Amino acid sequence: MASLHDLTAEIWRDLGPHADETVSVEPAGVVRVRTGPSSEEFSVDADDSATDATWKVADQLQAILIEARHQPVPTCPRHPRGHPLRAVGSDGSPVWICPEDDVTIATIGRLHTT
Ligand SMILES: [Zn+2]
């Protein structure tokens, strides 16, 4: 699988980070996110499959940014004012779905390239 560092960088792009939001991957699978003055971290289970690691990292990064911004991240292209996309592992692939219509929007890490 891609390294956690590369994986996290791709997911981070999907979330359209603001200038004061940064992410870094530390040894032992710890992901640290800074949003303005605050900082949060979570760890990734080394035994997870690539699919599980991807959607779980996406889900955690997303939750941190939603809390920091008080708005949906990433926005659903079908319902831009309604809700964020949801990160799931579907048939062995990590994807963003619209949770309202249960429709796959993009592979996680490729949201802005599809
Ligand atoms: Zn939607």
Domain boundaries, the chain: 4-107
Predicted model pTM: 0.94
Distance, CA 14 to ligand 1 centroid (Å)? 16
HSE (side-chain half, CA atoms, 13 Å) at 72: 15
How distant, in Å, are the alpha carbons of 23, 69, 94 from that of 58? Answer: 12, 16, 9
Distance, CA 53 to ligand 1 centroid (Å)? 23
Burial 19-40 (b: 16+ CB within 10 A, else e): eebebebeeeeebebbbeeeee
Task: Read off the tokens for 84.
Answer: 């964020």
pLDDT at residue 2 greater than cutoff 90: no
Look over the chain and give the mean of its residue pLDDT values, rounded to a whole number: 94
Distance, CA 100 to ligand 1 centroid (Å)? 5
Residue 36: the pLDDT is: 94
Distance, CA 73 to ligand 1 centroid (Å)? 12
